[in-house]
């Protein structure tokens, strides 16, 4: 099986925060740090080694009430992008540094999705985790065994000895601890040789919630 590092290289990004801890949902910062996005409060930077403290941030996360505290970037590389934490009204004004906004408290999935869009060339919309779950695929009356190697709310990576064409839609079943059997339709969307990437379709809301909870628990326990 592919290692977690092979499947999901950790980006090791530095995100500087101008926001209080309560501006983030519980566990959001801790889980993002495990995924390579270290969120450091600006007042804690001096306590870090110079190699980190003096590093140019990849992104700033700023409470809208503290925008005046953010320095101008005069290093010739242009402004560091900012995600603003705000209320329901969203962002007003035309600050070119602002690339996105989230309502406080910023939740894990929304923050992850936005950070991915800003920083990564091939962004993911939802976190995923390596796993090894027994699975069964069915197409019509034909059924075969597989193993789920990684899982997100939107899809998974499977290994199977069954030859399956790209674009094929199958019914996929796999068990989740504490949630029971998950059943969903899925399309064989891509290959990560020798494995197959599936995108879920029409997954029941309760099953999606169970998968999302499993992913968050797995990330938190790393």
Q: Does one domain contain both 136 and 47?
A: no
DSSP string covering the chain? ---HHHHS----EEEEEES-GGGB-TTHHHHHHHTTEEEEEGGGGGGS-HHHHTSPPSEEEEEGGGGGGSPPP-SSS-PPPEEEEE-TT---S--TTEEEEEESSBPHHHHHHHHHHHH-SS--SS-EEEEEEEEEEEETTEEEEEEEEEEESSEEEEE-SS---TT-EEEEEEEETTTEEEEEEEEEEEEETTEEEEEEES--HHHHHHHHHHHHHHHHT-
Prior bond to 194 cis, omega within 30? yes
Q: Does one domain contain both 114 and 140?
A: no
Q: Does one domain contain both 102 and 204?
A: no
Q: Does one domain contain both 71 and 132?
A: no
pLDDT at 205 over 50: yes
CATH code of the domain containing 164: 2.40.10.220
Beta strands 98-103 and 82-86: pairing type?
Answer: parallel
pLDDT attached to residue 26: 92
Q: What is the pLDDT of residues 104-148, one digit of tens each?
A: 999 988 899 889 989 988 778 788 899 999 999 999 999 999 999
pLDDT at 102 over 50: yes
pLDDT attached to residue 194: 82
pLDDT attached to residue 85: 92
Q: Does one domain contain both 40 and 79?
A: yes
Among 92, 119, 146, the domain boundary falls at 119
pLDDT attached to residue 11: 62
pLDDT attached to residue 2: 40
Q: Does one domain contain both 146 and 53?
A: no
pTM of the model: 0.68
pLDDT at 1 over 80: no
Sheet with 37-41, side-by-side order of all strands: 37-41, 13-18, 59-63, 82-86, 98-103
Q: Is 175 in contact with 134 (CB distance < 8 Å)? A: yes
Q: Is 19 in contact with 11 (CB distance < 8 Å)? A: no
Q: Does one domain contain both 147 and 204?
A: yes
Q: Does one domain contain both 145 and 165?
A: yes
Residue 4 banded pLDDT, cuts 50, 70, 90: very low
* CB-count exposure of residue 180 (10 Å: 0-12, 13-18, 19+): exposed
Among 94, 119, 144, the domain boundary falls at 119
Q: What is the mean pLDDT of residues 83-104?
A: 83
Determine which of 1-10, 75-84, 178-187 has the lowest per-residue pLDDT on average: 1-10
Q: Does one domain contain both 111 and 136?
A: no
Q: Does one domain contain both 103 and 166?
A: no
Of residues 75 and 16, which shows the higher confidence score? 16
pLDDT attached to residue 10: 55
pLDDT at 54 over 90: no
What is the extent of the structural domain holding 89?
4-119
Residue 5 banded pLDDT, cuts 50, 70, 90: very low
Distance CA 156, CA 36 (A): 21
CATH code of the domain containing 102: 3.40.50.2300
Among 119, 138, 156, the domain boundary falls at 119
**Total domains, the chain:** 2
């Amino acid at each position: 099986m592919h290692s977690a590092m092979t499947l999901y290289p950790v980006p090791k990004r530095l995100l500087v925060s101008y926001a209080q801890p309560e501006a983030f949902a519980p566990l959001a910062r801790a889980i993002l740090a495990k995924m390579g996005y270290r969120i450091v409060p600006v007042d804690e930077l001096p306590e870090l080694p110079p190699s980190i403290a003096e590093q140019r941030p990849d992104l700033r996360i700023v409470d809208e009430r503290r925008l005046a505290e953010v320095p101008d970037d005069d290093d010739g590389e242009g402004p560091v992008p900012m995600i603003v934490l705000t209320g329901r009204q969203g962002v007003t004004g035309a600050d070119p540094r602002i690339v996105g906004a989230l309502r406080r408290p910023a939740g894990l999935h929304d923050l992850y999705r936005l950070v991915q869009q800003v920083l990564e060339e091939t962004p993911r919309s939802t976190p995923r985790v390596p796993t090894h779950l027994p699975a069964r695929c069915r197409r019509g009356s034909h059924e075969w065994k597989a193993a789920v190697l990684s899982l997100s709310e939107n899809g998974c990576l499977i290994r199977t000895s069954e030859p399956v064409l790209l674009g094929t839609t199958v019914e996929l079943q796999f068990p989740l601890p504490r949630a029971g059997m998950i059943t969903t339709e899925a399309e064989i969307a891509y290959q990560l040789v020798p494995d197959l990437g599936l995108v879920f379709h029409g997954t029941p809301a309760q099953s999606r919630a169970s998968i999302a909870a499993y992913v968050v628990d797995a990330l938190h326990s790393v």
